[in-house]
Structure 1
Amino acid sequence: MTGTVITVAPTGAESRKSDVPALPVTLDELTVTAKECEALGASIIHLHIRDDDARPTLDPGRLREAVAAVRSGTSLIVQLSSGGAVTDPEDARLAVLDAGPDMASCTMGTVNFGDDVFLNRWAFVVDLHTRMQERNIVPEYEIFDLGQLTTLQRLLGKHGLPAGGHVHVDLVMGVPGGMPGTAQALVACVDAIRDLPEGTTFSATGIGRSTIPVMLASLATGGHLRVGMEDTLTYAKGRPVESNMQLVARAVGFAQLAQRPPLTTGETRALLGVPQR
């Protein structure tokens, strides 16, 4: 790889606005965040949305508004979360695709998520994958544990390549209940990725204090980066994150030090097979 795809995940579904005042939850806050992060070097935005009370929601109208607002203000690739919150039902998660994003997440299995369970049945995964094929929406396969890469291999073998023909995974590391956010775990995943279709790419997300080790290990092994306040609320020990821009700027700096500067949105579309809309 000669460049780095940088994804920003600005909000998530776990943190409360009352606890994290800098968290972007309104449409205006999300749009401003998208513009700022694109200017720094992000090429993909991974979106969760909130309602008027700043609670996580999969409301179809709000999802369409968010996609349209980010598209009108930036050239970023819009990737919606099909995970939502851990309590969201499957039909609402499938309906995320109706908002017409460029990409959407597709998690490869059930995982303990702190004190909760993030449920992803095989039948649901297949349904999500095939609906994205039909609608030409490019999936990012979310991997919370090593065995989920084997599940992805099974999915592709039984149901074919994704829309765009390119396989891209995101290694979500450091979630309590999933794989640890360590260089050793990332290298084990990279070895397993070699069994996926030729040309498969990966990004990596380090949750909390694993952010920096995961970023460095990903860059060292040819991977890409996902950062943002969905995953990280502390910039350094005792220092809260001030904005998503702060996290994107750090990722850009690491990518440049690795001599793999950020890819533009156009270059990222070409790499991942994401069509213009």
Structure 2
Amino acid sequence: MTGTLITVAPTGAESSKAAVPALPVTIDELVATAKECEALGAAIIHVHIRDDAAEPTLDPGRLRDTVAALRQSTDLIIQLSSGGAVTDPEAARLAVLDAGPEMASCTMGTVNFGDAVFLNRWDFIVDLHTRMAERGIVPEYEIFDLGQLTTLQRLLDRHGLPYGGHVHVDLVMGVPGGMPGTAEALVACHRAIRDLPEGTTFSATGIGRTTLPVMLASLSAGGHLRVGMEDTVTYAKGRPVESNMQLVARAVGFAQLAQRPPLTTTEARELLGVPAR
């Protein structure tokens, strides 16, 4: 396909509602954001949830309610984060799959995450990958550093292809402690991706001020895009993001300039091996 797969990551686990009032944290806010972004051209929503105090949570009941609400209101592919917050235990992260998402993230290694550590042990990665295959959930393999692509190759060699048979990775770039959000780093990853199974696709995410260079480099290399207020809360220097819709609209504009218009949700499902509803 020659189009662009656009994922919106609207909330994340890092920013507070007090500091970023536009952040969608309730189910109603998340559904409204999802509908707006789908209308513009997003095909996937990458979901973190918050509790009644707007703090990050992996509460099983709230996860199930969120998935149900998004499924009822949109045709977006629902991708839950299995990362949660960096403090979440492995058991709670595995239990995310019980909420029945169509996709879930699967991070390929441990990384320094600012002043914290995002822990992803090999055995945990294998368990997450295996459970997704058993439950018919398509993984998005999240890559925070170049060596994690080698870990992904090892995983696939030892434990087989994911459910649906298609390998899709997301390059998360610009995290303090991970790979830089530069065109040079993306090119290095692009070369390594060629060693993965034929047909592997990638999206790229630029954190903070790396959003624009990563977006342009990904489109130039034939990659796809993830944008949203999880990854940046500044639209331009000194200008806060007003909504996730604003970030999706910019990504859509760049994709159209590259003559790679956004994929529909139906086309995205075909590309990723996600079954139609």
> How many Å apart are 1:208 and its aligned residue?
0.3
> Residues 188-227 of structure 1: matches in 2 within 5 Å?
188-227=188-227
Report what 2:122 is aligned to.
122
Percent of paired sites with the same residue: 86
Q: Deviations over 1:115-157 (max 9, x none)?
A: 0000000000000000000001000000000000000000000
Report what 2:31 is aligned to.
31
Q: SS at the partner of 1:229?
A: coil
Within 2, Cα distance between the matches of 1:232 and 1:263? Answer: 23
Within 2, Cα distance between the matches of 1:275 and 1:122? Answer: 28
Within 2, Cα distance between the matches of 1:34 and 1:17? Answer: 18
| Alpha-carbon RMSD | 0.4
Within 2, Cα distance between the matches of 1:31 and 1:273? Answer: 24
Report what 1:263 is aligned to.
263
> How many Å apart are 1:200 and its aligned residue?
0.1
Report what 1:152 is aligned to.
152
Asked if 1 retains the 8 angstrom alpha-carbon contact of 2:113 and 2:177, the reply is yes
> How many Å apart are 1:275 and its aligned residue?
1.1
Q: Deviations over 1:189-240 (max 9, x none)?
A: 0000000000000000000000000000000000000000000100000000
Please tell me whether residue 12 in structure 1 is matched to residue 5 in structure 2: no
TM-score by length of 2: 1.00
Report what 2:172 is aligned to.
172
Q: Deviations over 1:85-121 (max 9, x none)?
A: 0000000000000000000000000000000000000
> How many Å apart are 1:2 and its aligned residue?
1.0
> How many Å apart are 1:72 and its aligned residue?
0.5
Q: Which runs of 5+ in 2 are unaligned?
A: none
Within 2, Cα distance between the matches of 1:161 and 1:136? Answer: 12
Aligned pairs, how many? 277
Opposite residue 69 of structure 2, the aligned amino acid is A
> How many Å apart are 1:274 and its aligned residue?
0.6
Report what 1:137 is aligned to.
137
> How many Å apart are 1:276 and its aligned residue?
2.4
Within 2, Cα distance between the matches of 1:65 and 1:31? Answer: 11
Q: Deviations over 1:63-84 (max 9, x none)?
A: 0000000110000000000000
Within 2, Cα distance between the matches of 1:50 and 1:17? Answer: 10
TM-score by length of 1: 1.00
Within 2, Cα distance between the matches of 1:153 and 1:12? Answer: 27
Q: Which runs of 5+ in 1 are unaligned?
A: none
